[in-house]
Structure 1
């Protein structure tokens, strides 16, 4: 039978083809950005734009046509072999009931069903590739942009950024790559606004079609064998509403009433991996034991880092982490092949490794098998090589874990407008090193040892500044910054912080509902500093 894991593997075969299309399209955009980075005279740019308008559509069309050819070959081979193999398993049932079993090669009726579904899937793929694009984040929300429009708009934007001096090539490339990999190439229904990554849409198209074929064949075989009893497939960590009926035997009417066959949330509905097969009471045996089904139904939550997860919730979180890692892999690949900076490549590799480690820890804690084949289905190979180890100079001589933590902190601070987007990774890490050197290990006026800091504290040390042209020198580092708000927050010199912790005018403790406490030290004319008095972590600071 086509069990849930086998059905899923067939879907990932289709996804791999469109993952290759996705990365080739994004690489094409990145290479064009690279070309824009070396064109600085407006006349050259205008000539390049004329060339771009003539060739970009054709180049993308070639990439799409190649993927469609690969997908058609895959679908043709898969449908024939998968269904033929599954159909043969019914032969003993026909012989037991003295029914004529028509060999697959001669079963015109079933072959016509499969052929129609095969052609429908190929047509689905063709239609999807006609509505490709990216989904980008704007101030008003998410916006779907057609692929060719995106390429032209992105190149124009990148050229202006580079030529005007607002951003250098690496910053411009990094922003574009993050935007593309966060979105991924999408199939977009411009009538309804619905969109999905082309890889996910391709996988679901195959799985849905195979499930439809299976149900058609199951119904026909049941009619031939005069049976109205069916077994539903089962798997671990099923959706809670599906776990209660999976693996059972049901009449066709019960499939509809109990299992929700025909309903978008039921059997064969959206994202359902279950199928059903005809069985003959007295002859057929149950595929799953009662013990297996009870174990799979038992959804006692397990705790991880203070949060409880049911089996289904745990698998959903693993799927999200796998998606994140695939995006990191695309990010690394594009940066490497478009001349991105080594710092940006190493930073993304560090995030990728940190996510991989978290994935392993979480799956172990939940007692679930890692499914790295989902991550590596992109066919990109080993993109994590060259990741710096502890103390590597490329991480600015901080540990890999701290390096990853600081990079995440910087990203969050920029998103929250706590620091300028022009504060690069090297500057951010240098500030953290200054805090490590001058504040960690220090004792406050009331004898509390400073043991560490939150990344938000680094944000407050850096602060926001008023002028995009002003160069300021604080805490032994220099930065250029842009306007971040109408009343930008000033950074706080580390010497001010040190003086405040050791010679404050007053200190107050504030309890929190979470049970944690904070203590704020105030030194008039300089700054306020808040710490966790129990852990010794620096939390935040403000100029006074």
Structure 2
């Protein structure tokens, strides 16, 4: 029989095909945004050059044709294999009730039904694919925009922003990517206004079709073997209303009156992976005992961050986190595709890793299995900073912000590379942080401004540059903290204390209450 877990796998397998389509569309948009950014920065920009990077119906049709071909192949193979397995699983009931069993390949009616079901699904995906777009926020209201229209709007806005100097390239790129990944490529019904991500629509199309065929098979088998009883499938952490009847045996009439078969919220309704199978009393054995079903319901709440979650609520929360992580992964990949600012990439990586860390901790606290395959089904591979945890990534992000600020303000030379800035930071960590001053204060840390002072505004200490401040070596700083003359400094406007350690070479200032290095100044 087809289990709820099988049903879920079938759906996500189809979703991954359309997820690839979404990524191809988004990456193509980003590549064209990148071209736009180059054109707007060039002196010979002309409006007719926009046509070279504009979207065309042909581009979209080519992508859709390839995707629908893969979808058709998936549906063709999946439906045959899944329904064949489901059908053959009933063979034992035929034998137990002395009923003739028609082999799968020779069951003409069944083969025709499968063929018809495949066509229905393929036609549905073809229809859905004809109406793609994005949902954007406009005047505080959401608005559905067709794919070609949205794409041209994005390019037009970027050209206006960059040429007018309203935003730089990286800002416009980041804005566009955040908007696209938040919405995702959507199927839009322009008559009703209803819209849904094409990936979700693809998953549901497969699940609903296979579930429908499975129910039809079950009812046909039940009629042939002469039973009116059915066992409903079961899975872990069902929604509370479904936990009341999953795994139990009902008559066909009770499937409707008790389980809500045919209703949106009942058996086989929206987002329901349950189905049902023929059950012959005296022959069939239930798949799960009442005790096992109670355990699967997982209805006793568990606490996480001062909030309680039942098993179903925890599962919904995990699905949400998985979706968020896929969004961040897309952002990282697209920012890299568009040669985005390294700081923007790191910010996205931090959000992704923070969400992943929470996902791992949450699943452990809830006693639930992590399903990272849902995250990695995007096929993007490793998009995070490999081998760097969230804390280290955050530190690198803060260093990058300090580095960019220092260059912009002129506190360090534009010739100083980020790798040098990071190396100086590492030296301070290794040689200064954790040491104790001559009066017993432990150095606990420093602001990025302290790195600026170590590097200085010019590199040569032998040839001073008028109006520029030279750097201070780590050795000079260490010597001052260990042997320098102590001087109490006036309180800051916010009431913070500071102490300076002075030698003939330099002055080093720290906060004695926190142990944080504030700044250093050369004396020669």
Deviations 1:243-270 (CA, angstroms, capped at 9, x unpaired): 0000000000000000000111100000
Pair 1:62–1:387, CA change in 2 (3 A): farther
Pair 1:342–1:386, CA change in 2 (3 A): farther
Distance in 2, Cα, partners of 1:168 & 1:334? 17
Corresponding residue of 1:68? 68
How far off is 1:42 after superposition?
8.8
Q: Which has the larger radius of gyration?
A: 2
**Pairs within 5 Å for 1:242-321:** 242-321=242-321
- Indicate if the aligned counterparts of 2:298 and 2:310 stay in contact, CA closer than 8 A: no
**Pairs within 5 Å for 1:437-452:** none
Distance in 2, Cα, partners of 1:191 & 1:13? 30
- Indicate if the aligned counterparts of 1:22 and 1:184 stay in contact, CA closer than 8 A: yes
Corresponding residue of 1:217? 217
Distance in 1, Cα, partners of 2:302 & 2:106? 52
Corresponding residue of 2:188? 188
- Indicate if the aligned counterparts of 2:236 and 2:298 stay in contact, CA closer than 8 A: no
**Pairs within 5 Å for 1:93-492:** 93-386=93-386, 388-389=388-389, 390=391, 394-397=396-399
Deviations 1:143-167 (CA, angstroms, capped at 9, x unpaired): 1111000000100001111111111
Q: Flag structure 1 segments of 5+ consecutive residues without an equivalent.
A: 404-425, 427-450, 452-494, 504-544
Deviations 1:345-384 (CA, angstroms, capped at 9, x unpaired): 1111111111000000111111111110110111111111
Deviations 1:305-338 (CA, angstroms, capped at 9, x unpaired): 1111111111111111000000011111111112
How far off is 1:91 after superposition?
1.1
Distance in 2, Cα, partners of 1:320 & 1:57? 34
Distance in 2, Cα, partners of 1:316 & 1:111? 37
Distance in 2, Cα, partners of 1:150 & 1:82? 39
Bigger drift between 385-394 and 76-85 goes to 385-394
Bigger drift between 286-295 and 27-36 goes to 286-295
Deviations 1:3-53 (CA, angstroms, capped at 9, x unpaired): 011110000110110000000000011011000001126974422233345
How far off is 1:388 after superposition?
4.7
Distance in 1, Cα, partners of 2:116 & 2:43? 54
Pair 1:138–1:94, CA change in 2 (3 A): same
- Indicate if the aligned counterparts of 1:11 and 1:207 stay in contact, CA closer than 8 A: yes
- Indicate if the aligned counterparts of 1:391 and 1:397 stay in contact, CA closer than 8 A: no
Deviations 1:451-474 (CA, angstroms, capped at 9, x unpaired): 9xxxxxxxxxxxxxxxxxxxxxxx
Distance in 2, Cα, partners of 1:261 & 1:217? 16
**2:335 counterpart SS class:** helix
Distance in 2, Cα, partners of 1:57 & 1:352? 34
**1:144 counterpart SS class:** strand
- Indicate if the aligned counterparts of 1:234 and 1:247 stay in contact, CA closer than 8 A: yes
How far off is 1:60 after superposition?
1.5
Distance in 1, Cα, partners of 2:152 & 2:141? 21
**2:2 counterpart SS class:** coil
Distance in 1, Cα, partners of 2:276 & 2:7? 13
Deviations 1:198-229 (CA, angstroms, capped at 9, x unpaired): 11110011000000000111111111111100
TM-score, normalising length: structure 2: 0.75
CA RMSD, Structure 1 to Structure 2 (Å): 2.4
Bigger drift between 233-242 and 380-389 goes to 380-389
- Indicate if the aligned counterparts of 1:349 and 1:387 stay in contact, CA closer than 8 A: no
How far off is 1:140 after superposition?
2.8
**1:39 counterpart SS class:** helix
Corresponding residue of 1:489? none
Pair 1:356–1:496, CA change in 2 (3 A): farther
- Indicate if the aligned counterparts of 1:346 and 1:386 stay in contact, CA closer than 8 A: no
- Indicate if the aligned counterparts of 2:237 and 2:296 stay in contact, CA closer than 8 A: yes
How far off is 1:498 after superposition?
5.0
Distance in 2, Cα, partners of 1:387 & 1:155? 36
2:501 aligned with 1:499: no
**1:499 counterpart SS class:** coil
- Indicate if the aligned counterparts of 2:298 and 2:312 stay in contact, CA closer than 8 A: no
Corresponding residue of 1:50? 51
